[in-house]
Chains A and B, each alone.
Chain A
């Protein structure tokens, strides 16, 4: 079968099979759309009594639109055309006199669900892989093939609105409950069962909405609902993401319009959003994430071991958090510390993570007890003999780490992998004291472990590539994003983030108002401003990393003396008695102790000036990292910064931001500043080179540096 779809008639039953060639899944690419359009004309000639749409792919109905093709679209006009084409096709499907039914066993997302919604009836399987949803808002646009109109008309606005706004999918059983599907069958013999049931052609369903939904579908109800949803979205997105807001508008207005008008409004909004810069960054980010997930899989004939037994050294906040993660993913974890008090704090840290899940109902109390039971605290190395992986998270002191790692190594199986979770210390220096340095590398988790998706996997010259591959695989299995980086001081994320923090401190020392700087950066999209972040992390931790970087990179990483003075005066941030800020009547105010230390008198900075100074120094350092091969691509660099520091996703990461702002302007600014501080601002060679060649750091949708 080389065609993308085929049509068979058996009596008064027509079967439309989807089987896009050379792909694991069906996507609504040009080829499949061509095929469907052709078949639709054929079917319209002689419509059968019943038309069933079936996918021949394993565990997939239709995964959605083809994102590769979307990435090639540029202008608003392109997107408008794409939307029109799909809408026209689905309208034809909806207007067929036949009873149309989608038989869904597997992924049914985006355009796939929009197609299914154009059918009269949907039957689903109960497989965990059967997922129905409209995830478009996550990519910065809204469903454009009728989804915003047909979903609320099918299941009621009360259920449709959150589904579209969160972009989350639901499984077969939930689909049945919400009324998105009419029947749900066992996945194992799904098709046979459907065919059996289809002998009697089912009636088109006319759902009766309940009184709440009917109430909310009145003009007043819609207005109320839209207002509430808008407030909710603004709270979460701070207005940086236009897609959900647009979705609310299109859904609430569309319900009162005739279908044709509603669809026109939908595709106009879709085209506007999909061609926006925000959407392009989010689509790129989605691709980066997918590439990260897909790359580094086992080669043919290879397979990675399951992590069934692991161990953590040091049961502090990090150790406890890592143990909680490993146990949650089914591994039995030994958790060693030097006293029971330490182990107790590790257990508490893990229990807190689980309790949060129990509260959210994503875990039952029994599951929590079992996960806790998989963690075994110990003072000795008991049970380490079985560990496939040991993650060390003890005190950040080179001598201590070397001693602990060496001692631990002697208790391990020779195939065990041993890792250090350090935020700045040299992995190579640790490796130098070990007997099996090839089975050792860095695994840098970010705090809090259960929230931060990034894990830096740090190789050193002696590490075994297979060990690295195995680790990348495990990190992905834990639901985290691994980024492979070279062993340089600060690794990737801290090395780029620290200059930003230091520059912010420099600005305050020059007399600019820290509250305004924080506000400007939050407005830019950062989850919190640099000073708020410094308080969260702890100024002592920040100062320590700053010194390590100063040692490694020389005067360009010279930390502001303000930080050291604050640490001296015990202004450590949130964990102490406040840092830049302190709490007063549950409100964050500027810490009087910090004001006294600084001297007071703040000037109001210019927003552009703040953004330029804080970002360009970061971008410059990012260029150096690319130049030195700390990370393999601008793509992974951007991904790491977004996943590891909360760099605003809609800005696409430092490299993408740099390209958007214009590299020549950035270079010009840096050169200007470097006349005053040559060490601090000297532009990276790579930056100069790229500007000279007229290139960019990133290339959306295509091959990246």
Chain B
């Protein structure tokens, strides 16, 4: 077991459903705003930061290497380098572990890491037909030739390519993320009712957390709107008044004929950003910092993309084996809820000897998870899932909650589009 890395502080913006309150802010703006606030509250000095590492999935065209854009816009000196990492839905986590790796190797002492995503601003593209049309038109020499090409125009050329939809489709197996969740539901015989019940549970837990002010310490309000005339202070997709009946009424979205996954039992498309500051344990001790918590270890695993939702089981198995832990060694668990079916599938697979034998090459199950310890303040179905940011959000959420409850160790794990899973072990005391 290697040395732990200190997570000094962590905050996030409120999460807002795409197309709503945060739609006017681009991903780099969201990331820079949260880093600005993190720095304002941090015991670390600006010049102490050695690198900024950020995760982002959509990679906006106006902000190539978005981490560098964020670093400059949040007020860090130009001398501090920055790089962007991409591990799809786990990009925010990947940013944290990349920073941790560089700290452990001694190349960095302090770093900012996190994730930012504005799914509202996923662009629409012209399709190949339109691109071809433009190309021919540009090359045309005579007026007659131009006219000829112009006359070949068809309205259908204007049909845009929706990059968001494209991004949420596995490019190898060709299935949309929703269909992979349907696969998991089929494999484990998860019913529509069970999924809706868990979605309801997620909203109820999140609503209770909001009501008790448990999410407040991790959220920093943000000025938004095209005229910056609104202050957004809370996640806007949590529905306290959600009931089962209205969830049951929704039509399956991805497989309208015989599917079970609806927009109600899936996470919403979301805008938001989250960031943490990290440093080596030596630095934390030397400066007598009081870290929010520690990153103890982590693992990543690959699996069949058509069942990508089960990634957490695979990654967690590796993490446990490497450290000689069992599931009982985690006081709290965050499993990202991309879909209720995917979460419930993980729950079953974690507790299944058969699944362990068939897919994990181990004789016994990874270990059952206790519902009282998992996603205690609700999950992405309620809070939302800005893909590049969620990984960092899970780390922040679980550390705040562990601290509040006076507990020690937590597991934050996530399924990744394309067929991967990632799992982080976090601790309150080093």
Given A340-B233, A383-B40; A373-B33 close (CB under 8 Å): yes
Q: A382 vs B40: C-alpha distance in the bound complex, in angstroms? A: 5
B29 interfacial by beta-carbon distance below 8 Å: yes
B156-164, B222-230, B330-338 - interface stretch: B222-230
User: What 1/0 mask marks residues of chain A from 369 to 386 whose CB sits below 8 Å from any chain B CB?
Assistant: 110111111100011001
Interface centre among A343, A350, A372, A376 (most CB of B within 10 A): A376
Q: A378 vs B37: C-alpha distance in the bound complex, in angstroms? A: 9
Residues of A within 8 Å of B274, CB to CB, are: none
Contact of B223 among A355, A370, A377 (CB under 8 A): A377
Q: Chain B's nearest CB lies how many Å from the CB of A359?
A: 12
A376 near B37: Cβ-Cβ < 8 Å: yes
Given A332-B75, A347-B223, A370-B73; A376-B40 close (CB under 8 Å): yes
B36 interfacial by beta-carbon distance below 8 Å: yes
Q: Chain A's nearest CB lies how many Å from the CB of B171?
A: 32
Contact of A348 among B39, B41, B228 (CB under 8 A): B228
Q: A355 vs B75: C-alpha distance in the bound complex, in angstroms? A: 22
Q: Chain A's nearest CB lies how many Å from the CB of B120?
A: 15
A516 interfacial by beta-carbon distance below 8 Å: no
Contact of B36 among A347, A350, A376 (CB under 8 A): A376
A-B contact count (CB 8 A): 55
A334 near B40: Cβ-Cβ < 8 Å: yes
B60 interfacial by beta-carbon distance below 8 Å: no
A209 interfacial by beta-carbon distance below 8 Å: no
Chain B contacts with A in 32-76, Cβ cutoff 8 A: 32-33, 36-37, 39-41, 46, 73-75
A351 interfacial by beta-carbon distance below 8 Å: yes
Given A370-B73, A373-B29, A373-B32; A340-B40 close (CB under 8 Å): no
Residues of B within 8 Å of A463, CB to CB, are: none
Residues of B within 8 Å of A355, CB to CB, are: 227
Q: Chain A's nearest CB lies how many Å from the CB of B47?
A: 11
A506 interfacial by beta-carbon distance below 8 Å: no
Residues of A within 8 Å of B227, CB to CB, are: 348, 351-352, 355
A344 interfacial by beta-carbon distance below 8 Å: yes
Contact of A382 among B37, B221, B229, B230 (CB under 8 A): B37
Residues of A within 8 Å of B29, CB to CB, are: 369, 373
B231 interfacial by beta-carbon distance below 8 Å: yes
Interface range on chain B (Cβ under 8 Å from partner): 20 to 34
Contact of B73 among A373, A375, A378 (CB under 8 A): A373
Count residues of A near B (Cβ-Cβ below 8 Å): 24
Chain B contacts with A in 132-159, Cβ cutoff 8 A: none
Given A370-B73, A373-B29, A373-B73; A344-B230 close (CB under 8 Å): yes
Given A332-B75, A374-B75; A382-B41 close (CB under 8 Å): yes
- Closest chain B residue to A365 by CB distance? B226
Q: A383 vs B227: C-alpha distance in the bound complex, in angstroms? A: 25
Q: A350 vs B227: C-alpha distance in the bound complex, in angstroms? A: 10
Residues of B within 8 Å of A386, CB to CB, are: 40, 46
Q: A341 vs B73: C-alpha distance in the bound complex, in angstroms? A: 25
- Closest chain B residue to A342 by CB distance? B231
A348 near B75: Cβ-Cβ < 8 Å: no
Name B residues whose Cβ lies closer than 8 Å to a Cβ of A. 29, 32-33, 36-37, 39-41, 46, 73-75, 221, 223, 227-231, 233
Task: Using A343-B231, A347-B231, A386-B46 as known contacts, list a sample of 12 further A-B pairs with CB atoms less than 8 Å apart, ordered by residue number in A.
Answer: A334-B40, A340-B231, A340-B233, A347-B229, A351-B228, A351-B229, A355-B227, A372-B223, A373-B29, A373-B32, A373-B36, A383-B39
A sample of 7 inter-chain contacts (CB < 8 A) reads A334-B40, A340-B233, A341-B231, A343-B223, A348-B228, A383-B40, A383-B41
Name A residues whose Cβ lies closer than 8 Å to a Cβ of B. 332, 334, 340-341, 343-344, 347-348, 350-352, 355, 369-370, 372-378, 382-383, 386
Per CB-CB distance, the 9 closest pairs between chain A and chain B, nearest first, are A383-B40, A351-B228, A347-B223, A344-B231, A382-B40, A340-B231, A348-B229, A332-B75, A382-B41
